[in-house]
Amino acid sequence: MIETKEINIDGVLQAAQKQSIDKSAPTFVSVTEKIDKMNAIDFFQSGKVLGKNRIYWSSSDQQTIFAGIGDAVILADSNASYNTIKNKWKKWMQNSKIVNPYDNTRSGPIAFGGFPFDSEEPAEELWRGFDGSQFRVPTFLLTIDHSDVYLTTTVLVEEESHVDQLAAELITEKHQLLHVTHAEFQDNQIVLKHEVDPEAWKTLVERATEKIAANQVDKIVLARELQVEFDQPCDVGQVLSQLQQTQQHSYVFAWEKDGVCFVGATPERLVKVNDQKVFSACIAGTAPRGKTVEQDYEFGQQLLCDQKNREEHQFVVDMIKQAVHSLAKSVHIPDEPVLYPLKNLQHLYTPVEAELEEGYTLLDAVEKLHPTPALCGFPRETALDFIRHFEKLERGWYGAPIGWFDQHFNGEFAVAIRSALINEEKASLFAGCGVVKDSDPEIEYQETAIKFTPMLHALGELK
């Protein structure tokens, strides 16, 4: 049983309603309590009982984990404007009542969501419902920060709200969520796989290399889709459990809307901001892991010395360096990359540290950095134009910024790769690779096949 250090929610809501009346506007109410230890995936699974949208986020070191249930506040913009999301959040914070005695934690009101890869791409059949930029503040947010566990309850209180009834509903739902002893999972099993026109994709790679050979662009990132079907509706909690166990050093995320869930385990941080300190990462260049220590070392050294991969990585470093310098000071970027090992793959990695100039926020940094050459190409606009005209995949949120921010715009965004869009008995997996002048279509095809592996295993493919 989970015991909370109770805060009088009814009293908080009564005070919030008075504020709403005084200001003639709804009040954003957020109440944080410290609770006993609870498993975040169990909490995520318990949200199925309430039939509400869910979110999940685990940092790459697994020291910060969020699980959210319900939609207390939604921030959305069909035009995918970063500035609109920022201004909407500021407006809510200006008319808020936040009860959180734990200032030095990641508890409190937090918005989760993402931006599309390409703001000009319409959300059609595959990504219907994920149009534009969308963020939500969960009604109930479980925060695990190292060994501390918190529950934040968020709700809007209006002038005419029935606060006694609202308080009773929140207490009942909270009790349901916190008193799940251990969540039940079903075993997911893939029964059908279908690659979406791989030969046409290889032909597209050839077309991209021709454009690069003509000196019209240096690099173009092309992505493709793998469709799978299950023998029954996919259990997202089971997928998260598998990813959390197997994809260490990756950000594990899930963002569910009306029964459709975007889920993944990405190694790639886009940007993190904490008290104006900026942390980003350049990740580009890929090799498999070896079956032995010796083979693994050999693959890693080949990657470090491979001209094609080093060139691809340098595009990312140069672009991120330029973007960070435009809004930050004290920028530090090492001269040489190192290896970043994951369970199935290893990458070239260069960390970036800086300090935001006054007036800039995390969302400004996200806007400057996305899309990086690792997910789009270089130069950005030329590569993006090629993708818009010739790539058949509807990218949606794949390869786009996904993450969170708090009331002060501290937070973190990752690049949503190694991911899948799950819709009941079906899922679409996405993988991409950087095409440069020396790219071979078959080798690039095999690289994307390797990149599908983590999600395939997590979704239930036989090992």
- Picking from 113, 69, 109, the residue whose alpha carbon sits closest to that of residue 90 is 109
Burial class (CB in 10 A: 0-12, 13-18, 19+), 336: exposed
Gap between the Cα atoms of 370 and 355, Å rounded: 18
CA 420-421-426 angle, 5° bins: 105
Gap between the Cα atoms of 370 and 131, Å rounded: 17
In degrees rounded to 5, what are phi and psi of residue 287? -145, 155
Burial class (CB in 10 A: 0-12, 13-18, 19+), 441: buried
Residue type, 200: A
CB 138 within 8 A of CB 72: yes
Residue positions forming the annotated binding site for Mg(2+): 312, 447
Strands (E), 300-400: 328-332, 338-341, 345-356, 377-378
3-state secondary structure of 242: helix
In degrees rounded to 5, what are phi and psi of residue 441? -55, -40
Category of 418 on φ-ψ map: left (φ > 0), alpha (ψ -120 to 50) or beta? left
Partners of 351 in the β-ladder: 281
3-state secondary structure of 416: coil
Give me the active site residues, please.
Answer: 219, 268
- What are the CA-CA distances from residue 191 to residues 161, 228, 237, 419, 461 (Å)? 49, 8, 19, 19, 8
Which residue's structure tokens are 């994951």? 342
- Picking from 146, 50, 82, 150, the residue whose alpha carbon sits closest to that of residue 110 is 150
Gap between the Cα atoms of 23 and 2, Å rounded: 37
Gap between the Cα atoms of 129 and 31, Å rounded: 29
Whether the ω angle into residue 401 lies within 30 degrees of 0, i.e. cis, is: no
